[in-house]
Amino acid sequence: MAPTVLLHFADEAPAAHALADVLGGAVAPLEIERHRFPDGELKLRLPATLPEEVLVWRGLQQPNDKLVELLLTAQTARQLGARRLALVAPYLAYMRQDMAFRPGEAVSQRIVGGFLAQLFDAVLTVDPHLHRVATLGEAVPVPQPLVVSGAPALADWIARERPQALLLGPDEESAQWVAQAADRHGLDRAVCRKVRHGDRQVDVELPPQDWRDRQVVILDDMASTGHTVARAARLVLAAGARSVDVAVTHALFADGALDTLHDAGIDQVWSTDCIPHATNVVPMAPVLAQALKAAGWCLP
């Protein structure tokens, strides 16, 4: 049986090769050639022939061009011999908008999820940012919706760096990841309540807790502007915490976000490598490889 091919683009070659290394000889990483014409259109070139089983690695941060890439890649891969096609997207975009809040709004989760389901037999992602939808399969109705979490691996890192940490979720949605991480090592945990007034305007309320002399680690699935996390950090430091660090699965950090965090008194910022960033300390390739094998992919 021909080895599974792992297609990737040049900008994500290190991540794709890391996954292939963990999966061993059953997977061959191959790069997709990409050319952008002066008018902005894309031209892709895949290997001339493909085996029946193909993986495509594409993280969907900054997603708009990448969605067109996936359309071109998936349909071409089918024409070249792929019969089973899986997308490995450590970060999955357009999951926030799961309903129309005002008349006329596009429900992007449903649209993008349906688009991906037309292209792939399986989608593997890490900690998808779901709100009113309970499972990835509801958002992306592929035959095999596969989800892993960065929380356990982040918990292992935190337990080494801050053995007595108190894990704090910056809002109610983070409670699931905080619980996973805290239970793994028996750490204390708490969750804030967030009131959002806009993309950059948030209020945070701390839960009842004795914060004095505690090493607090704020844990969440993602951080973008950093304002919610910074607000939480200021509150716990004002309440007497000894230190505050941050651990996130998805380092989406917008320009100036790290300055915002450090200005708030945050010491260390740690992330998984789901999105390449200077704060990456936790590799996810072993977790992703295990999920693929458990789902029947990349078997020798």
Determine the pLDDT at residue 28: 93
Can you tell me the distance from the alpha carbon of 110 to that of 32, in angstroms, rounded to the nearest whole number?
Answer: 28
pLDDT tens for residues 114-148?
999 999 999 999 999 888 888 999 999 999 999 99
Residue 270 DSSP SS3: strand
pLDDT of 297 strictly over 90: yes
pLDDT of 36 strictly over 80: yes
Q: What DSSP string runs through 164-193? A: T-EEEESSGGGHHHHHHHHHHHT-EEEE-E
Query: Global pTM?
Result: 0.94
List domains and CATH numbers for the chain. 4-149+284-294 (3.40.50.2020), 151-281 (3.40.50.2020)
pLDDT of 201 strictly over 80: no
Q: Are strands 33-36 and 42-45 parallel, antiparallel or unpaired?
A: antiparallel
Determine the pLDDT at residue 147: 97
Q: Which residue, 150, 42, 40, is CA-closest to 92?
A: 150
- Sign of the CA dihedral with 259 first, then 262, 265, and 269 last: positive
**Alpha carbon 291 to chain centroid, angstroms:** 15
**CA distance to 3, 62, 66, 103, 250, per residue, from 16 (Å):** 15, 18, 16, 41, 17
Determine the pLDDT at residue 197: 63
The H-or-E segment that residue 5 falls in is strand 4-8
Determine the pLDDT at residue 99: 82
* Cβ(164)–Cβ(217) below 8 Å: no
Beta bridge partners of 215: 243
pLDDT band for 75, please (50, 70, 90 cuts).
Answer: very high
pLDDT of 17 strictly over 70: yes
Can you tell me the distance from the alpha carbon of 269 to that of 266, in angstroms, rounded to the nearest whole number?
Answer: 8
- Rounded mean pLDDT of the chain? 94
Residue 73 DSSP SS3: helix
Q: Compute the residue count for the chain.
A: 300
Determine the pLDDT at residue 133: 85
Can you tell me the distance from the alpha carbon of 123 to that of 97, in angstroms, rounded to the nearest whole number?
Answer: 19
**Side-chain half-sphere exposure of 170, counting CA atoms within 13 A:** 25
* Cβ(278)–Cβ(267) below 8 Å: no
Determine the pLDDT at residue 26: 82
pLDDT tens for residues 245-282?
999 999 999 999 999 999 999 999 999 999 999 999 99
For the ranges 87-101, 193-207, 209-223, which has the lowest average pLDDT? 193-207
